[in-house]
Amino acid sequence: MATPAAAQERPSYGTGGRRSRFRPGWSLMQYGLLTFFLLVFLVPFIWIWSSAFKESREIARDPFGLPATLRWDNLQEAWTTGQFDRYMGNTVIYCAAIVTGVVVLSCMAGYALALLPLPARGPILVVFLLGLMVPFQSVMIPIYYFLQDLNLLGTYWAFIIPGIALRLSFGIFLMRGFFRGLPPELADAARLDGANEWQTFRQVMLPLSVPGIATLVVLQFINTWNAFLMPLVFVQRDELRPVALGTLFFFGRFTADRGLIAAGVTISMLPMIVIFLLLQRRFIEGITAGALKS
């Protein structure tokens, strides 16, 4: 009951940082809980990773122990029979194309909607925003037949083009918000100096929006790398599959061989884990910003 009063009396939003009194009991319980959840999140992965290094007999005999010796046979076999080299290559192509496309188009359109004179700016924005609320399922059937008519179904474009188009709503919204936060006087100054609109955008405003672009790149990269339903529907040929989809078909083909499956899954998640560990802060900041600004 005393708290609302306290809230009114002390509206100061201090940065805090003061540590409260050391309480060993609490600290012990805190670390107990933290470790418990650490195991909850980690044990399934460790189980898979260690199975990847075991022979089938060893898995059958001791399914949960750590491998006696690290055997790379499973990993090697999974890499070649599972065609993971091809799937990884495809995924890199898809990520490069879709992330670039989304970022370039979203920056241009977001900039126009934020800072350039446009008739009917409001309605245009609303039409793009409505796209955020339309689930992929509502457009996938017509897009599928549209791609078929364009003869694109057996090509990389079948995932790249809709992959860009369906993420524009989010990208434009994010970048427009970012450009609106920049002082428009900067653009005016550049124009007075004789820069045309493209130069103003490219050389003055775009460099200032790097933090926004970083958020967009991170989100689109994770989304594209892990995309499942869109390539499942639009990517028909095995040799064009991205790695998430390839992993599923690999899993379906070798269900009985546990060592091989574990190896395939391990290979499949490895690049993302490495990238995540290297760029952790960017990833977490990107995801947080993406959530809180949308």
Region 263-292 residues binding another protein, contact defined as CB under 8 A? 265, 268-269, 272-273, 275-277, 280, 283-284, 287-288, 291-292
41 binds another protein (CB under 8 A): yes
Span from 66-74, 78-86, 159-167, 208-216 in contact with another protein (CB under 8 A): 159-167
Residue window 66-105: x/- pattern of binding to another protein, with contact defined by CB under 8 A: ---------------------------------------x
Residues from 121 through 140 that contact another protein (CB under 8 A):
124, 127-128, 131-140
Interface with another protein (CB under 8 A), residue from 93, 165, 206, 214: 165
10 binds another protein (CB under 8 A): yes
CA distance 214 to 220: 10
Please choose, from the candidates 252, 253, 266, 255, the residue with its C-alpha nearest in 3D space to the C-alpha of residue 51: 266
113 binds another protein (CB under 8 A): yes
22 binds another protein (CB under 8 A): no
Interface with another protein (CB under 8 A), residue from 30, 76, 80, 151: 30
Span from 66-74, 92-100, 115-123, 152-160 in contact with another protein (CB under 8 A): 115-123
Residues from 181 through 240 that contact another protein (CB under 8 A):
188, 191-192, 194-198, 201, 222, 225-226, 228-229, 233
Write 135-142 long-range contacts (CB < 8 A, 24+): 136/166, 136/229, 136/230, 139/166, 140/229, 140/230, 140/233
Q: Closest approach of Cβ 69 to another protein, in Å?
A: 21
294 binds another protein (CB under 8 A): yes
How many residues lie near another protein (CB under 8 A)? 111
Residues from 241 through 260 that contact another protein (CB under 8 A):
243-245, 247-248, 251, 258
Tokens of 178: 């970012």
